[in-house]
Amino acid sequence: MRFLSIFLVLVFFSPSLFAQKKEFSSNKNDKWEEAKHGKSLVARYRLSSTKFVQVDVRSAPVPESSSQQYFTTFHNSLIKSGMKKGDSSSSDAFKGKKTKRTTYEMKRKKELYNVLVYELYRNGKAWLILAVTPAKKRGSLDQALPELLKGFSFP
């Protein structure tokens, strides 16, 4: 899991692009536990029943006029890193607010991982929520993730 955490930090931009934001809050339930994280993340959660399912929350100040380009650049960096892009769709996972959800697959050390990326733009900030799980644990993520996401509050 440590390898995966390091990989995600290296792949998903330099920490200097992200600023920790105090405005974010979560009403997480007992299925999830907060995990230690560096300055590049606003929050990190791990599913209590398995340490291999992880959700990272990132934020960056971005002008609204540049937000689409910011998200496009982010997704392009994932593809260039070797991730296989799956489907993209709109989602109302965050208290009914419409967002975009994109899925990816990546293979590391002979294990297949699923990555779900949610993107939101709120009040001058681009938010990226990344859910990472081994493909064989995807069912655990799919059952527990909606409740965690509904508890997120963005400024």
> pLDDT tens digit string along 57-106?
999 999 999 999 999 999 999 999 999 999 988 887 776 677 899 999 99
Longest Cα–Cα distance of the chain, Å, equals 41
Q: What is the pLDDT of residue 148?
A: 86
Say which CATH architecture domain 2-153 belongs to.
3-Layer(aba) Sandwich (3.40)
Q: Is the pLDDT confidence value at 153 over 60?
A: yes
CA pair distance 100, 40, nearest whole angstrom: 22
Given this model, what pLDDT does residue 13 score?
44
Identify the bridge partners of residue 107 per DSSP, sorted by sequence position: 112
CA dist., res. 153 & res. 155, Å (int): 7
Which pTM value belongs to this model? 0.78
Q: What share of the chain is helix, strand, coil (3-state, %, to 5)?
A: 30, 40, 30
List, for residues 107-133, the tens digit of each pLDDT value.
Answer: 988 899 999 999 999 889 999 999 999
Q: Give percent of the chain with pLDDT exceeding 90.
A: 39
Q: How confident is the model at residue 15 (pLDDT cuts 50, 70, 90)?
A: very low
The arithmetic mean of pLDDT across residues 36-55, rounded, is 82
What integer pLDDT is reported at residue 28 of this predicted model?
62
Q: Provide the residue type at 101 as one letter.
A: R
Select the more confidently predicted residue: 33 or 155: 33
The answer on pLDDT for 150 being more than 70 is yes
What pLDDT score was predicted for residue 91? Answer: 81
Confidence of residue 155 (pLDDT cuts 50, 70, 90): low
Per-residue pLDDT, 26: 66
Residues 6+ positions from 110 with CB-CB distance below 8 Å: none
Q: Can you point out the beta strands (E) in 48-139? A: 54-61, 84-94, 97-108, 111-122, 125-134
Residues 6+ apart with CB under 8 A from 126: 59, 60, 61, 62, 67, 70, 71, 119, 120
Domain boundaries, the chain: 2-153
Please state, in angstroms and as integers, the Cα–Cα distance from residue 83 to each residue in 24, 56, 107, 125, 143, following that order: 28, 17, 8, 25, 24
